[in-house]
Copies of this chain bind each other. A is one copy, B any other.
């Protein structure tokens, strides 16, 4: 009986090997490996701890000097990130070992230098959530519990890595935020100050999107591209919309296309499907007649 199962396993094993061979699925790791998802998630936590030290450190901060806290955690972060960057840029490259180290050092340094700037941006984002959500009980609650702020923070850090053209890591970061919050912001997007996301589940912001300052997006809003089957041929082309300052877009509205511009101060109703530009200072809604209401039978 068990022999029967062993034979079946052997047969299936051979079939799997055919697939392995046909696509080189097995060989991809010859001497290489991919960055570690777990370490990258821990980097996100380290960055949050540095950004909002009173909220995410396990320890009571009362006895720490700001100086030693910041310097020591930065040095730990530098080391962790350096190793992951080295793995990421080594993938598929033919740089020599020393060059790889130099390049990873240069990239990690550039990223770390940007942390205070990102922190300053995030402090403005916290203000935006407070201003936009009457249900927010305090700044503490926003920083500690709001998925929108979490997704924005991950985006802002991932965007810096994206700008440095580091592969894999920005995407792993943004997919982590996507999985936890349902908010999918491509690290390539450009997003201004005081960005506000409410609830957030279902929000999609594509790679070539540009968003101005003081923009508010509600759950389910897509800033996306038109469908294509051309794949990588379109990589780099602007395929996603531009949203100017002070725009509000209500829930579940879909805005598509690289030439679509939503002008400054515009307000878009929810559940709209928008594929052409909206002028500034307008309120735009489908000219749906009043809902037709029929008495139930």
Contacts and interface: CB of A to CB of B under 8 A. Distances in A.
- Chain A interface size band reads 35 or more
A232 B130 contact: yes
Interface string A247-289: 0101111101000000001110111111000110111111111
A206 B219 CA distance: 12
A155 interface: no
Contact of A9 (B112, B188, B198, B234): B112
Contact of A33 (B13, B60, B222): B60
B134 A231 contact: yes
Q: Which 10 A-B pairs have the closest CB atoms?
A: A68-B71, A28-B54, A15-B116, A72-B72, A287-B292, A134-B234, A13-B70, A271-B273, A64-B75, A254-B270
Contacts of A239: 134
A296 B282 contact: yes
B140 A74 contact: no
Given A136-B232, A272-B271, A119 B72 contact: no
Contacts of A99: none
A33 B27 CA distance: 29
Interface in A109-151: 109, 112-113, 115-116, 119-120, 123, 130-138, 140-141, 144-147
27 contacts: A1-B105, A13-B71, A29-B61, A59-B75, A59-B80, A68-B68, A68-B70, A134-B207, A135-B186, A137-B235, A141-B167, A141-B168, A145-B168, A178-B201, A184-B219, A201-B201, A202-B219, A202-B252, A204-B219, A220-B252, A222-B251, A227-B267, A253-B271, A267-B296, A283-B295, A283-B296, A286-B288
Interface string A40-80: 00000000001011110101111111111111111110111
Nearest to A135: B207
Contacts of A94: none
Copies held by the complex: 6
A252 B250 contact: no
Interface in A211-229: 216, 218-220, 222, 224-225, 227-229
B63 A79 contact: yes
A23 B123 contact: yes
Contacts of A273: 250, 252, 269-272, 285-286, 288
Given A75-B64, A145-B172, A113 B201 contact: no
A293 B279 contact: yes
A44 to B, nearest CB: 14
A193 to B, nearest CB: 14
Given A62-B31, A64-B72, A137-B171, A78 B5 contact: yes
A267 B37 CA distance: 36
A43 to B, nearest CB: 12
